[in-house]
Amino acid sequence: MLVIHCPYCQADRPELEFANAGEAHIVRPDNMAEMTDAEFEKMFFVRQNPKGVNLERWRHIHGCGRFFNAIRHTVSDKFLKVYKAGESRPSDAEIAELMK
Amino acid sequence: MAKANVATRDNPTSGNRLANASVSIESAPPASRISFRATPKGAKDFGKTLDLDLPVKPGQSTSKSTLSALWIGPDEWLIIDTKNPIDKLMPRRENANFCATDISHRNVAFIVSGNGAENTLCASCPRDLSLSAFPVGSASRTIFGKAEVVLLRTGKTSFRLECWRSFSPYVWDLLVDGAHDAHI
């Protein structure tokens, strides 16, 4: 079982307490009504799904209930970093540093 | 006038108890419970009203006589009083700093105690419940089998397990299995 660090509980918790909530840092636009169908589709449905490092939202649903963000490697399933919701996206350089 | 029909709330596992040489499990008597969501200020104010500071550290609880306050999330607490009626606990006035909901009848509890208590719970709970990782006074919402529960360690070998009322027969069955395994 994976052990995931929850930034709100500040502790490692078993995977079963968590739920994945899709890709992180997707900004909802203010002008949704003016978007073309193609733009809307891109924003609403199209996700990166990379083989490698992925930035994801997770929810500690059977714990503190909070959403947070995590950087996970989709091949090794290793969590490189977790950080609270609302914190800015780590730069590519920082992510590269975590990969080392 | 016809008599009003009053629905009685029943606990499906009321009166259940089991004991072997390692562990004893019993269904806890009814208690008053509040799900409390608040800003730090709201939590402080309610702590004064209750005369019991709400815990601010993750995974902690505070208690005083029959009253306990459990940290559930950064802005969420579970208040349990095993003696006083709910009217005495509920805040009189509402304001923007908190939200208190009476959940006395949503939850039921089991008291699990004895040397095998830890192993009984570990049979269905993925958490590390050893004394070093989950010391006395620790509280946490977690998962038990497939049911969401709240665990409170009340002593070295005693736990209070809160679950939703409709889940209690399921949780009870898992506890019985766990108690059996803990005894082997």
Q: Judge: A63–B74 Cβ closer than 8 Å, yes or no.
A: no
Write down the residue that tokens 């809307």 correspond to: A40
* Residue B54 belongs to a domain: yes
Q: So what's the pLDDT on residue B1?
A: 63
Q: Which domain holds residue B78?
A: 23-183
Q: With bands split at pLDDT 50, 70 and 90, how would you rate the model's confidence at B5? A: confident
DSSP conformation letters of chain A: --EEEETTTTEEEEGGG-EEEEES-PPPPS-GGG--HHHHHHHHT-----SSEEEEEEE-TTTT--EEEEEEETTT--EEEEEETTSPPPPHHHHHHHH-
Coil/strand/helix, residue B169: helix
Task: Tell me which of B78, B128, B151 to substitute to probe the interface with A (most A C-beta atoms closer than 10 Å).
Answer: B128
Distance, in Å, from the CA atom of A67 to the CA atom of A61, rounded to the nearest integer, reads: 8
CB–CB contact B141 A10 (8 Å)? no
- In chain A, what are the domain boundaries? 3-99
Asked, for residue B17, whether it belongs to a domain, the answer is no
- Dist CA B176 CA A61 (whole Å): 26
Determine the CATH number of domain A3-99.
Answer: 3.30.2270.10
B37 inside domain: yes
Q: For residue B15, is it within any domain?
A: no
Q: pTM for the complete prediction?
A: 0.91
**Residue-wise pLDDT tens digits, A33-92:** 999 999 999 999 999 999 999 999 999 999 999 999 999 999 999 999 999 999 999 999
User: Are the beta carbons of B131 and B44 closer than 8 angstroms?
Assistant: no
Within-domain flag for B7: no
Pinpoint the alpha helices (H) of B73-167: 86-89, 117-122
Of B58, B74, B143, the CB nearest to A17: B143
Contact A16 B126 (CB under 8 A): yes
ipTM score for this prediction: 0.88
B153 within domain boundaries: yes
Residue B167 belongs to a domain: yes
pLDDT in tens, B95-128: 899 999 999 999 999 999 999 999 999 999 999 9
The CATH number that applies at residue B112 is 3.30.1360.120
For residue B71, give the 3-state DSSP assignment: strand
Within a 10 A sphere around the Cβ of A56, how many other Cβ atoms? 18
How close A17 comes to chain B (CA, Å)? 6
Q: What is the dihedral of CA A79, A83, A88, A93, to 10 degrees?
A: -40
Nearest residue of chain B to residue A84 (CA atoms): B74
Q: What is the helix (H) or strand (E) element at residue B59, kind and residue range?
A: none
In a domain, B158, yes or no: yes
Q: CA-to-CA distance for A53 and A72, rounded, in angstroms?
A: 6
Between chains, do A9 and B59 touch, taking CB under 8 Å as contact? yes
